[in-house]
C-alpha cells in the first residue's frame, strides 16, 4: 500500500481521488488545497462521492500533522509552470516526500528552467527522495512512448508524432478549450492571451532529443485554428463556415535546417478519426498507431498514480520518465 | 564512447559487429569465441567486411589482455538457456564488466531459474556492475512494450499480444526454422526435438505479470503447425496442401481459470499481413499496432546495443527491462 498526499484539489485532483479510491495498492491519506472554502471538506465528498475519511487542509504541515498514516508520495496537481510549482514541490521534498506531479513544465525542465530544475534535483537528493513530472501529454504519448519505441532502432533520422482527436464526443468545456466555434479573430485573441495553448510540446521535444542523444538548435511551437469550409452541427455547438472547429498545434525541433522532431496535436469537433501515431524514420522505419486514441483524462490520472511506485523505487533526485524505473499499471 | 567486448561470434555476433561498426557511440574492442578456427580472425572480416582491428580470442582473459581499450560492457550472444550461460556471464561479472545478453531465458529468469538468477544478481552486486537479458522477442515486442503501454491504464484485466509475420520474404533458413514445407509428421518430430520452439514466451509472460503485480497460477506454451488447404508456391519453397506453412505458438498465462495474458506468435510463408499488435483490456482499452511488424534481426541487434548505455547507468545487480533506465536509440 502506497500512502499518498494530494496537493491541489481542483477538478484534476478530484478525479485523482476517485481513481485512487478504485485501486487496492494506493490510498489518499491527506490532502491540501489553499482555497479556504475547501478546508475541512472530505476529499471523497468534494470528488462527488461518499466520504473517504480524509479532510482537506489549507497547508502542507497541517495536512501532514492530521494524517492518520504517514504519506510517502505527494501527488501534485496544482499549476503548469515551473516558477509557481517549485516552492510547492520544495516544501514536499523538505518533508521527505517523493513527488509525482502533472505540472507540464516539470516533465522536462532541464532546457527551459535549468536553474529551478537544478535546485529541485539538489533538494531531492539532500532529502533522499525522487520526483518526476508526468501525465499523458506531456508525459507519455508524444514523448516517452516514441522514445521507448526507438529501442529497436539501429538508427533514427526523424521522429514524428500525431495526436489527433475528434472532440465532438468530449464535453463542452473541452470543446471550448480547443477553440471550437470561435471566429478567426476570437481564436487569435485566445491564442494571444495564452488560454488556447497546450503546454508541453517544447518539453516533449527536449525529452525526445535528450533520450536520442540529440541537441536541438531551435524549436517552434505553432498554434493555428482549424477553419471549416462547411457548417458542422453538434448537440451543444455549431461551427459556421469560416469559423474554427478546433486547434492545430505543431512542435518542430530542428537540427540545422531539418525538423528532426515533429509533434502534431490536432483536436477539433468533427475530425474524421481519433488516433495516436508514432512514426520513426530510420532503420527500421516504424509506424505505431493506437486506433481511437487515448482518453486524456483517464490516462493522466492513471499514469500519475502508476508513477508513484516507480518514484519510490528510484534513486534520489529529479527524474524524467527516461531515468525512472518503468512505469506500468500495477493493480 | 562505450567499449564493448563481444562474446559469441556466431551469425548473431557477426551481425552485432556490423551494427556496432555503423554507430558513433559504441565500438567493439575485443571479441571471444571458443571455436579454434575463429581464433586470430579479425571480427570485421569474419562479419563479411573489411578488417576492424580486433582479433577474436578463444577465452575471455586473453581477449581482455590483448584489448587496446578496456571494455566496459560484455555483449553476450552465445546460448539461449540459463544453465549454459551462467558461467559465461559470471566470468564477465568477475572481470567488472557490465553485461547485455540476447539469452532468451535471461530476459526474465526469476521464475524458471531463480537460483541461477539469484547467484548472478549477487555476483553483479559484489562486482558493482549491472546485467540484463534483452532482444526483440523476448525483450521488447511481446513483453516490455505491452507493459509500457499499461502506464496510461487505470485498470488492466487482460493483455493480448500478436506477433504475426509473413515469412515469404524472409530467407530460406528462417522459413525452414518455422517449419515451412514440413509434413505434419515432420513438424511433430521437429517440435518434439525442440528445434522448432521459439524460446521465451514463458519469460515474456512472467515479465508482464511481474510488471503488473500479478501472480500467474500456471502458464502454457503451445506449438502448432499452420496447415494449408491450398498449395503455396514461393521462389525457394513449395508448401503442398496438408503441409505446414509455418508455426503458431501460443503462450497463455492464467490466474485461476482465466488466461489473463495471451501471447500469439504466428510466422508462416504466405500470411496475408505482418504486424505487431498489443491489446490491453481494461480502463481504457488500448489497441496499439505496428503495421508491417518489426524485423527481428535488426531489432535484436539494435536493442542490445541500445541497452549498453542503460546497463552502465543502472544500479548493480541483475536487471529486467522494467528496472533498467529507459532503453532508447542513442546515435
Query: Cβ of B153 and A329 within 8 Å?
Result: yes
Question: Are B7 and B78 spatial neighbours (Cβ–Cβ below 8 Å)?
Answer: yes
> What is the per-residue pLDDT across B118-137, written as a single tens digit (0 to 9) for each?
999 999 999 999 999 999 99
pLDDT category at B141 given cuts 50, 70, 90 is very high
What 3-state class would DSSP assign to A158? strand
For A289, the closest of B147, B214, B289 (CB atoms) is: B289
User: Would an 8 Å CB–CB cutoff place A68 in contact with chain B?
Assistant: no
Tell me phi and psi for residue A115, to 5 degrees.
Answer: -70, -45
What 3-state class would DSSP assign to A29? strand
| Best to test chain A binding among B152, B275, B280, B292 (most A CBs inside 10 Å) | B152
> What is the per-residue pLDDT across A117-143, written as a single tens digit (0 to 9) for each?
999 999 999 999 999 999 999 999 999
Q: Which residue has the higher pLDDT, A151 or A168?
A: A151
First to last CA, chain B: 11
**Spatial separation of the C-alpha atoms in residues B139 and A230, rounded to whole Å:** 49
Nearest CA-CA distance, residue A183 and chain B, Å: 34
The pLDDT assigned to B169 comes to 83
Binding-face residues of B in 69-88 toward A, CB within 8 A: none
Weakest-pLDDT range from A318-322, B122-126, B194-198, B312-316:
B194-198
**Spatial separation of the C-alpha atoms in residues B79 and B68, rounded to whole Å:** 27
Alpha-carbon separation of residue B171 from A150, A203, B16, B175 (angstroms)? 25, 43, 18, 7
Alpha-carbon separation of residue A271 from A79, A198, A228, A282 (angstroms)? 30, 18, 11, 30
In the predicted model, what is the mean pLDDT of residues A192-218? 94
> What is the per-residue pLDDT across B15-57, written as a single tens digit (0 to 9) for each?
999 999 999 999 999 999 999 999 999 999 999 999 999 999 9
> What is the per-residue pLDDT across A27-57, written as a single tens digit (0 to 9) for each?
999 999 999 999 999 999 999 999 999 999 9
The pLDDT assigned to B172 comes to 86
A62 sits in the region (left: phi over 0; alpha: psi -120 to 50; else beta) called alpha
Q: Which residues of A touch B149 (CB under 8 A)?
A: 145
Query: Cβ of B149 and A147 within 8 Å?
Result: no
Cell numbers for A190: 485566445
> What is the per-residue pLDDT across A55-83, written as a single tens digit (0 to 9) for each?
999 999 999 999 999 999 999 999 999 99
| Best to test chain A binding among B25, B297, B329, B331 (most A CBs inside 10 Å) | B329
The pLDDT assigned to A310 comes to 97
B279 sits in the region (left: phi over 0; alpha: psi -120 to 50; else beta) called beta
First to last CA, chain A: 11
The pLDDT assigned to B331 comes to 60
**Spatial separation of the C-alpha atoms in residues A106 and A112, rounded to whole Å:** 10
**Spatial separation of the C-alpha atoms in residues A282 and A208, rounded to whole Å:** 15
Considering only CA atoms, which of A193, A198, A186, A217 is closest in space to residue A139? A198
**Spatial separation of the C-alpha atoms in residues A126 and A123, rounded to whole Å:** 5
Question: Are B100 and B88 spatial neighbours (Cβ–Cβ below 8 Å)?
Answer: no
The H or E element containing residue A239 is strand A238-239
In the predicted model, what is the mean pLDDT of residues B212-239? 95
Counting every residue written for chain B, the total comes to 331
In the predicted model, what is the mean pLDDT of residues B133-149? 98
Residue A331 has pLDDT above 80, yes or no: no
The pLDDT assigned to A209 comes to 98
pLDDT category at A230 given cuts 50, 70, 90 is very high
The pLDDT assigned to A235 comes to 87
* Residue pointed to by grid coordinates 535549468: A114
Residue of B nearest to A288 (CA): B290
Query: Cβ of B152 and A141 within 8 Å?
Result: yes
Binding-face residues of A in 163-182 toward B, CB within 8 A: none
Nearest CA-CA distance, residue A328 and chain B, Å: 4
**Spatial separation of the C-alpha atoms in residues A307 and A326, rounded to whole Å:** 9
Cell numbers for A42: 472530505
Residue A297 has pLDDT above 90, yes or no: no
What's the CA angle centered on A91, arms A85 and A94, to 5 degrees? 135
What number of other Cβ atoms are within 10 A of residue B45's Cβ? 14
pLDDT category at A330 given cuts 50, 70, 90 is confident
Residue of B nearest to A20 (CA): B154
Sign of the dihedral defined by the CA atoms of residues A275, A302, B311, A209, in that order = positive
The pLDDT assigned to A172 comes to 86
Alpha-carbon separation of residue A145 from B84, B131, B148, B277, B326 (angstroms)? 35, 24, 8, 15, 10
The pLDDT assigned to A184 comes to 96
Considering only CA atoms, which of B3, B169, B150, B12 is closest in space to residue B80? B12
Chain-centre distance of CA B194, in angstroms?
17
> What is the per-residue pLDDT across A138-154, written as a single tens digit (0 to 9) for each?
999 999 999 999 999 99
Tell me phi and psi for residue A297, to 5 degrees.
Answer: -65, -55
User: Would an 8 Å CB–CB cutoff place A312 in contact with chain B?
Assistant: no
Residue A106 has pLDDT above 80, yes or no: yes
The H or E element containing residue A92 is helix A82-94
**Spatial separation of the C-alpha atoms in residues A159 and A279, rounded to whole Å:** 6
Q: Which residue has the higher pLDDT, A173 or B66?
A: B66
* Residue pointed to by grid coordinates 525457394: B236
In the predicted model, what is the mean pLDDT of residues B187-214? 94
In the predicted model, what is the mean pLDDT of residues B129-152? 98
Question: Are A199 and A103 spatial neighbours (Cβ–Cβ below 8 Å)?
Answer: no
Q: Are strands B218-227 and B244-255 parallel, antiparallel or unpaired?
A: antiparallel
pLDDT category at B97 given cuts 50, 70, 90 is very high
In the predicted model, what is the mean pLDDT of residues A224-253? 95
Question: Are A137 and A296 spatial neighbours (Cβ–Cβ below 8 Å)?
Answer: yes
User: Would an 8 Å CB–CB cutoff place B152 in contact with chain A?
Assistant: yes
Residue of B nearest to A212 (CA): B330
User: Would an 8 Å CB–CB cutoff place B292 in contact with chain A?
Assistant: yes
Binding-face residues of A in 191-250 toward B, CB within 8 A: 211-213
Tell me phi and psi for residue A166, to 5 degrees.
Answer: -80, 110
Amino acid at each position: 500500500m502506497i500512502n499518498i498526499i494530494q496537493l491541489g484539489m481542483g477538478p484534476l485532483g478530484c478525479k485523482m481521488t476517485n481513481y485512487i479510491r478504485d485501486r487496492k495498492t494506493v490510498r489518499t491519506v491527506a490532502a491540501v488545497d489553499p482555497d479556504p472554502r475547501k478546508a475541512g471538506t472530505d476529499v471523497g465528498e468534494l470528488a462527488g462521492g461518499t466520504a473517504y475519511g480524509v479532510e482537506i487542509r489549507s497547508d502542507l504541515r497541517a495536512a501532514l500533522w492530521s494524517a492518520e498514516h504517514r504519506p510517502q508520495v505527494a501527488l501534485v496537481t496544482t499549476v503548469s509552470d515551473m516558477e509557481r510549482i517549485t516552492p510547492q514541490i520544495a516544501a514536499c521534498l523538505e518533508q521527505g516526500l517523493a513527488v509525482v506531479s502533472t505540472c507540464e513544465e516539470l516533465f522536462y525542465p532541464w532546457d527551459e528552467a535549468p536553474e529551478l530544475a537544478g535546485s529541485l534535483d539538489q533538494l531531492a537528493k539532500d532529502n533522499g527522495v525522487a520526483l518526476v513530472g508526468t501525465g499523458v501529454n506531456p508525459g507519455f504519448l508524444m514523448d516517452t512512448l516514441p522514445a521507448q519505441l526507438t529501442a529497436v532502432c539501429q538508427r533514427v533520422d526523424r521522429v514524428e508524432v500525431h495526436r489527433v482527436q475528434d472532440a465532438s464526443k468530449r464535453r463542452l468545456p473541452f470543446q471550448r478549450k480547443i477553440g471550437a466555434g470561435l471566429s478567426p479573430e476570437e481564436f487569435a485573441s485566445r491564442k494571444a492571451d495564452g488560454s488556447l495553448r497546450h503546454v508541453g510540446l517544447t518539453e516533449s521535444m527536449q525529452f525526445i532529443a535528450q533520450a536520442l542523444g540529440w541537441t536541438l538548435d531551435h524549436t517552434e511551437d505553432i498554434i493555428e485554428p482549424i477553419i471549416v469550409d462547411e457548417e458542422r452541427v453538434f448537440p451543444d455547438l455549431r461551427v459556421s463556415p469560416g469559423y474554427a472547429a478546433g486547434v492545430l498545434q505543431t512542435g518542430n525541433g530542428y537540427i540545422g535546417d531539418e525538423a528532426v522532431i515533429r509533434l502534431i496535436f490536432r483536436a477539433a469537433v468533427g475530425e474524421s478519426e481519433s488516433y495516436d501515431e508514432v512514426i520513426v524514420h530510420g532503420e527500421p522505419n516504424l509506424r505505431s498507431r493506437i486506433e481511437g486514441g487515448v482518453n486524456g483524462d483517464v490516462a493522466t490520472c492513471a499514469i500519475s498514480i502508476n508513477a508513484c511506485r516507480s518514484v519510490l523505487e528510484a534513486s534520489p533526485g529529479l527524474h524524467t520518465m527516461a531515468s525512472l524505473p518503468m512505469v506500468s499499471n500495477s493493480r
